Amino acid sequence: MATSRRRRDQRQRQRHRAADAARRHLVVKAVVERLPVELHADIHHRLDFLRRLAFASICGTLGHMLRQEAPWLILPGKTEEKATAISLADGEKPASLRTSAAMRGHVVIGSSDGWLVTADDQGALRMANPATGAQADLPAISTIPFLAQRGPGGQWFCLDVEPFLQIRFGGPPPPENKDWGLSPPRTSTLTAAQMRQTFYRKVLDHANGRWEMAADIGDAALFIGVNGSLCVSTREHQDIEAGSIYFTDDEVGGACLRHAQGADYQHPSYGEPDDTELRETGVYSLKAGKVTKSIAGHGKHPRWPTAAWFTPSFL
């Protein structure tokens, strides 16, 4: 009887604390929304990146007026409930973020406007905003006409190859593409887990875009990884190194194998060079023609899920 009363009292105290926090949030929000826009920007500029998150979360629709963030690196935490974020424009200081269900154990396969697109081991796609904790389900991949989910529990995906190649290449694959061979099969079957290992990939414009060698990109910096690529002006973000390429490991298949084998931390195995961490997440200088440094703290974090770049959005 006494135990039930204590539990009831505890739940009541928790509800009171939550209600008090909600009231304080509304009061602060009402005050902040009355501030001039230029004062919003000045306050935002003076805060460290986690406090910028808290401030922007109460700015409402005025959040889009705040200074655009430089790319952040999202890394796995010690548990699935936590992720580590590193802001390169804030001295690479790591901070802990609480993850949503759309991030726990999922692989990041894309990012846009502050949202991450993630995939689980059943091939399901979701969206997550690490800055705000918001999440959303995406339509099932089997809604695409040439891809059908089969088997008990949807364990298999059957791909009708001809219409897929029409969308992928506009016809038969080019001769230099060795993955499909001279005579592509009529169908291809993948397990649910293989969808995020081999089928899902970041976008490139094969019709108009191409890779070119370059030794100088001016005052710009490139961020590349498994989930896409973006270009940032170092004039606006002076802590970013001009003429450099910031990169993360984009081998999702290899990461999945390491995870299955229980090798989730950055300890080089026998025969691996000691610069494994440097090569997987680091900075490449075009002028020097070599990797100049690793991203602070990456070697201390698990390899799973794979690290990804994203530009925070607070809306």
Ramachandran category for residue 105: left, alpha or beta (phi over 0 → left; psi -120 to 50 → alpha):
left
Instruction: Specify the pLDDT at position 275.
Output: 46
Q: What residues does 302 pair with on adjacent strands?
A: 265
Q: With pLDDT > 90 as the criterion, what percentage of the chain qualifies?
A: 2
Contact, 29 vs 58, CB < 8 A? yes
Instruction: Specify the pLDDT at position 157.
Output: 92
Domain-by-domain residue ranges, the chain?
Answer: 1-67, 220-310
Instruction: Specify the pLDDT at position 202.
Output: 58
Instruction: Specify the pLDDT at position 314.
Output: 62
Does position 289 have pLDDT exceeding 50, yes or no? Answer: yes
Residues 108 and 119: their CA atoms lie apart, in Å, by 7
Instruction: Specify the pLDDT at position 110.
Output: 79
- At residue 274 the predicted structure's pLDDT band, cuts being 50, 70 and 90, is very low
Question: Hey, what are 14's tokens?
Answer: 């928790």
Return the C-alpha torsion angle 203, 205, 210, 215, nearest 10. -50
Does position 154 have pLDDT exceeding 50, yes or no? Answer: yes
Give the strand order in the sheet containing 115-119.
107-112, 115-119, 125-128, 135-137
Contact, 70 vs 87, CB < 8 A? yes
Does position 125 have pLDDT exceeding 80, yes or no? Answer: yes
- Taking each helix axis as running N to C, give the angle between helix 37-46 and helix 49-57, from 0 to 180 degrees, rounded to the nearest 10: 150
If one compares 21 and 73, the residue with the highest pLDDT of the two is: 73
Residues 163 and 307: their CA atoms lie apart, in Å, by 33
Q: Report, as an integer, the average pLDDT of 68-91.
A: 80
Beta-strand relationship, 147-150 and 156-160: antiparallel
**119 by DSSP, 3-state: which?**
strand
Q: Report, as an integer, the average pLDDT of 140-148.
A: 87
